[in-house]
Structure 1
Amino acid sequence: MPYEWIEPADGDTPPRAELHLWPYRSLPKTGFVRFIGITAIMFLFPISAVLGTPVLWGLLPFILLVTWAIWAALQRSYRDGDILEILRIWDEEVILTRASHKKPVQTWTANPYWVRVTQHDTGGPVPHYLTLKGKSVREVEIGSFLSAEERQQLFSELNIAFHSPRSN
């Protein structure tokens, strides 16, 4: 799953629960390198037939352009998916932080006593859309990049995390 509950680290006041969420990557970095390498090798087959002819110089710029375009598109996909949401729950405060390369870091805070986790089965930008709302705080989305099944699982886990017994 592209989210993970983290064990609280030792410190002054560790959170009682911490959740990290990130978009799923179907192509890891090693797969990216292999894909570009295999694509470049496959382009060598048509080039080998025209080695030593003037046709090579006509094909070579297009083959290099296509290889660069594939590389650039995959790099952009990685940058666009470079999102990390961190939810920390203390007894007196909840902090949701969203970091993305496109926007400055966004932070939302509320009192956990008043936080309500809502699952919007329809009407949201995605099915089973999850939001958090505090008493008089704006409503924020969480995990919108997860699949519908993962959001349903996360909904039940968030309810457990917010309704677990408070430490004394």
Structure 2
Amino acid sequence: MPVEWSHPSPQETRHWQLSLWPYRSLLRKDFVLFIGATAALIALPLVAAIGTAVLWGLLPFFALMLSGLWYALHISYRRGEILEELTVDDTTAHLTRHNPAGNIQEWEANRYWISVHIRDDGPVEKYLTLRGNGREVELGAFLTPEERQALHGELMQALSGGR
């Protein structure tokens, strides 16, 4: 699960931070390998056309396909650059969401008045929200329903002081 809990020290359970991010099946370091392998596999049939005019007819389509694939993967990475950080100390809980466009959304509430909810009637299955300070904010919309369900239990335990 793309979730990380952090504590200043193992004895300290009142201060903690939760970081959430979307799952990545293709890492950035593997991106170059994937594009290179795809180019090699697509170029393999072009070897038969070397030295003919057919090669020059097929080459623009090969380049267009490869650049389209690169662009689509690049856009996918940009849209997935989301980071949600929930920081809890003695009195407050602060949620910060870093969006792909670069803007930052923030929410803060009294730690002891926060309630964690999970619903089936939200925009996603097992819709996880935090309520406090007169607002309700979603958490981990990019996670799978099972991950949101597990996170719900962990957040309930953590906010009650057991984490």
Same fold, TM-score > 0.5, yes or no: yes
Paired position in structure 1 for 2:4: 4
Tell me, yes or no, if the aligned pair for 1:94 and 1:109 is still in contact at 8 Å. Answer: yes
Distance 2:101 2:138 in 1: 17
Paired position in structure 1 for 2:84: 85
What CA deviation, in whole Å up to 9, does each residue of 1:39-76 have, x standing for no partner? 10012212111110111110000000000000110011
Distance 2:124 2:158 in 1: 23
Equivalent positions of 1:54-65 (< 5 A) are 54-65=53-64
The one-letter code matched in structure 1 to 2:112 is Y
The one-letter code matched in structure 2 to 1:126 is V
1:157 aligns with 2:148: no
RMSD: 1.5
Runs of at least 5 residues in structure 1 that lack an aligned partner in the other structure: 10-14
Q: Deviation at 1:104?
A: 1.1
Runs of at least 5 residues in structure 2 that lack an aligned partner in the other structure: none
Q: Deviation at 1:103?
A: 4.8
What CA deviation, in whole Å up to 9, does each residue of 1:126-152 have, x standing for no partner? 111100001x42100001101111101
SS at 1:47 equivalent:
helix
Distance 2:82 2:100 in 1: 7
Give the number of equivalent residue pairs: 159
Among 120, 142, 145, which residue is 2:142 paired with?
145
Paired position in structure 2 for 1:12: none
Distance 2:102 2:141 in 1: 16
Tell me, yes or no, if the aligned pair for 1:131 and 1:140 is still in contact at 8 Å. Answer: yes
Paired position in structure 1 for 2:124: 126
The TM-score normalised by the length of structure 1 is 0.90
Paired position in structure 1 for 2:32: 33
Structure 1 runs (4+) greater than 2 angstroms displaced: none
The one-letter code matched in structure 2 to 1:130 is L
Identity of paired residues, percent?
49
